[in-house]
Amino acid sequence: MQASLPLFCIAVTAGKWKPYDHSVFVAEAVQKAMETPGSRVILEIPPRHGKTYTSIVYGGAWYLKNWPGKTFAYVAHTQSLADKYSEKCRLVFESLPYGQGLAADSRAKQNWSTAGLGGGFFSTGVGGPVTGIGFDFMAVDDP
């Protein structure tokens, strides 16, 4: 397993992600949920405090680096938000110098796959399709 999610956030942002108390709390809560099958966590923190970047952008990349054969599902308020943060997560994932990479045919904003193991990132807006799509971890952000 890669470093903890808080350390990963610091590393992939070259120190721009700051380990403020609330940021570390979010990262540790999300990491625990990712590591514990069947668990749930609800985070209620004011807007602009890093929930989406920590849990979706960096958290999604951390999850797929640790478990490249699993699928991370992300549901946002709108499809455009889902696309935006899915793409940002994909860019972080692609930039990592170690481990599994992105599948060669995976360039979509909305859905992309890890190389060789069948895992990946699926995103949709509220009301979008989630039935028939298997996933191992789901994050719902500002529904």
Supply the pLDDT for residue 78: 92
Question: Could you tell me the pLDDT band of residue 3, with boundaries at 50, 70 and 90?
Answer: confident
Strand order in the sheet with 71-76: 111-113, 120-125, 71-76, 137-141
Is 76:141 a contact under the CB 8 Å cutoff? yes
**pLDDT tens readout for residues 39-77:** 999 988 888 899 999 999 999 999 999 999 999 999 999
pTM beyond cutoff 0.85? yes
CA distance 63 to 30: 10
**pLDDT tens readout for residues 71-104:** 999 999 999 999 999 999 999 998 887 666 777 7
Structure tokens at 28: 């540790």
Taking the CA atoms of 65, 54, 38 and 125 in sequence, report the sign of the dihedral they define: negative
